[in-house]
Structure 1
Amino acid sequence: MPNTLIVGIDISSQSNSIFFIDDAGNQLIKKPFSLPNDQEGANELIKRVIDCLSQYNLSYVKFGMEATSHYGWHLHLYLASSSELLPYKPTFYVLNPSIVKGFKKIYTFLPKTDNIDAVVIAECVRFSKLNPTPLPDFKYAALQRLTRMRYHLVHNLTREKNRALNLIYLKFSTYSQDCPFSDIFGKASCAIIENFTPDDIASMPLEDLIKFVSDNGNNRLSDVNKIAEILKTAANRSYRLHPLLAEANDLALSMTLENIRFMQEQLKKLDKEISKLLKAFSQTLTTIPGIGDVLAAGIIAEIGDIKRFKNEAALAKYSGLVWTQYQSGNFNAQETSLAKCGNQYLRYYLVEAANCVRVHTVRYKAFYNKKFSEVTKHQHKRALVLTARRLIPLIFAMLSKGQIYQERGDVYNT
């Protein structure tokens, strides 16, 4: 006899489409209905859920909702905190859209509408053996807001730098390949790019160029004479940009470099705040050589409570650091691709951590070099991702048992 109400909710920014079934598959309403995605709509949903539970004498309620960006965040928390629903022991299932999409394929000729999706979500909760989605831990959630912001900021900064390199090439075609500075976007380098054209540098007295480089390098550059000579040589070899394009290109380049400087300052602010929030966590990841506060925070924020994961394989799957398998009969594919599912933020921070750890530790450096030498294509990317996967058992052990890193390959309890 049915005893559970299953509520399928297809969420959007302004409204939610909702459908009711029981755990036997009986449709308890004729068709899905819509409610506003706000507090009033949530209150009306609670009222209708309780009415349905009473009408059909059901004892429990399950809510299924598709993970649609952040639009389900408030509804999930509001329903979970409802004292009216508490006697019915509500459980929540926030479903990955790929799961819903795959499940929907068993229903042929269904249109793609929010109403139909609400039905599919409810059926997905009924049939699938899914673990309930826990409520977010606000301590982790606060850290996660900042580490995810940093992820997007780093990617935006990379795009701006690529745009700047294109503009620099137009202005000074040999500058990128002959750049005598360790950082092409450093203070002295940007001063050269913004203030001079190749003609200016080629015609400028060497002594004046040396003084300009020295002043803008804060007297920290080791050999300003050599730097000035390299700039002179590069200027003589460079193409010249047409005068009609030069002014517009200079403006675009100046604005792009300004964006880069702004983002770099934002990164510094974020890193300080991330380090501050990380102090609230008892963690040992920063004992791994190469992993600092930012990388540790990014990993911890996405993992949350490590007890959610049965073993390191489950953590690897959650991060998307797993590989597809292709086998048919006696054939078993030797080359398989990275699944690239799971948590993209966790995968990013794990790969970044692996890139730092392989520089600072003997065993991970050896593993990286071994994987690098195994192939002739995509050597660095492949070796780095495999090193990140290799790092997961260590991270799982350290977070699970509060252990610290030891270079010989062991970890010891604190």
Structure 2
Amino acid sequence: MLNNIFLKFSEYTLLRNGEHPFSNKYGATAEAILTEFTTNEDIVNTSIEDLVVFISSKSKGRIADPEETAKIIQAAARNSYRLDQCLYEPLTISIASSFNCISSFEKELKAIDKAIFQTVQGLNPVEYTVLNSIPGIGKVYSAGILAEIGSVKVFQSADSLAKYCGIVWNDNDSGDFESEDKHMSKAGNRYLRYYIIEATGSVIRHCPEYERFYHKKYAETRNHQHKRALALTSRKFIRLLYGLLDKSQLYSPEKSR
């Protein structure tokens, strides 16, 4: 879709976020601009007044300055390179089809997320609530972790949980090991390992304590920086996860340390 948008409306994709008139380049108003005007000339030849009305209608009045937005879009259309007229219609149809596919996928994801939420709430509502209290973990990763763990009570410690999901190192060093070349075992539950590592990546973006820890570990080496830092942060996250689940406590910044 992005390739087709560039072919049809080259300057649209080159507008930087700070200068772009839409908060979402591919939201409802942007979709209307890209699919309801067949060619760039159609945008250029539309009066500013009509373009303002169009943008205000499609954005449902959410754009603060529709006239300025109309001018930016019209200037971008004027400065875009031109294609043979016969190419605009198939490109526009293809772009519209892509938007329809994305919309369908988003609806399916919402339905699947709802089903996951209902299922896991019925199976283990307390532990699910505990996991969802951690910033950034989300309902899908929470459900995946619980589906693979079953109950944290079967693990004697955070270390045994880490071993079960394979986030341990072959020489039995802890997560604070020194060497840059030690390899993770990966002998455990690969599905749980996936959920833990993905959840950790999200928690890093939402929790300053984990962001600082990740960047500290990232700076300690020049080899495999991201993979190493993420693995070490995942081990720290497992300790938090185990502690909260074992005590049925909700997350707080103090408990993350």
After TM superposition, the score normalised by the length of structure 2 is 0.76
The aligned counterpart of 2:253 is 407
User: For 1:219, which of 37, 61, 73 is the aligned residue?
Assistant: 61
The aligned counterpart of 1:176 is 13
Instruction: Determine whether 1:257 maps to 2:103.
Output: no
Contact 1:362 1:407 in 2 (8 A): no
- Paired residues for 1:264-283 under 5 Å: 264-280=106-122, 281=124, 282-283=126-127
Range 180-189 or range 260-269, more displaced: 180-189
SS at match of 2:26: coil
Contact 2:240 2:255 in 1 (8 A): no
Instruction: Give the distance between the partners of 1:225 and 1:339, measured in 2 at CA.
Output: 59
User: For 1:395, which of 227, 234, 241 is the aligned residue?
Assistant: 241
Q: Deviation string for 1:10-43 (max 9, x for gaps)?
A: xxxxxxxxxxxxxxxxxxxxxxxxxxxxxxxxxx
Contact 1:363 1:409 in 2 (8 A): no
- Paired residues for 1:232-381 under 5 Å: 232-280=74-122, 281=124, 282-283=126-127, 284-321=130-167, 334-335=180-181, 343=189, 345-371=191-217, 373=219
SS at match of 2:55: helix
Instruction: Give the distance between the partners of 1:371 and 1:207, measured in 2 at CA.
Output: 55
The aligned counterpart of 1:188 is 29
| Count of residues in correspondence between the two structures | 242
Return the structure number with greater helix share: 2
Q: Deviation string for 1:99-143 (max 9, x for gaps)?
A: xxxxxxxxxxxxxxxxxxxxxxxxxxxxxxxxxxxxxxxxxxxxx
C-alpha spacing 1:182/1:304, structure 2 compared with 1 (3 Å): farther
Contact 1:298 1:349 in 2 (8 A): yes
Identity fraction in percent:
40
Q: CA deviation at 1:384?
A: 4.8
SS at match of 2:10: coil
C-alpha spacing 1:348/1:209, structure 2 compared with 1 (3 Å): farther
SS at match of 1:200: helix
Structure of greater Rg:
1
Q: Which sections of structure 1, spanning at least 5 residues, go unmatched?
A: 1-163, 326-331
Instruction: Give the distance between the partners of 2:41 and 2:229, measured in 1 at CA.
Output: 44
Alignment RMSD: 3.3
C-alpha spacing 1:172/1:336, structure 2 compared with 1 (3 Å): farther
Instruction: Give the distance between the partners of 1:320 and 1:228, measured in 2 at CA.
Output: 54
Contact 2:34 2:92 in 1 (8 A): no
Return the structure number with greater strand share: 1
Contact 1:323 1:339 in 2 (8 A): yes
Q: CA deviation at 1:324?
A: 7.2
The aligned counterpart of 1:37 is none
Structure with more contact order per residue of length (Cα contacts < 8 Å, sep ≥ 6) = 2
Q: Which sections of structure 2, spanning at least 5 residues, go unmatched?
A: 172-177
C-alpha spacing 1:275/1:259, structure 2 compared with 1 (3 Å): same
Moved over 6 A (4+): 337-341, 375-382
The aligned counterpart of 1:166 is 3
SS at match of 1:279: helix
Instruction: Give the distance between the partners of 2:74 and 2:223, measured in 1 at CA.
Output: 37
C-alpha spacing 1:184/1:298, structure 2 compared with 1 (3 Å): farther
C-alpha spacing 1:168/1:336, structure 2 compared with 1 (3 Å): farther
What letter corresponds to residue 185 of structure 1 in structure 2? Y
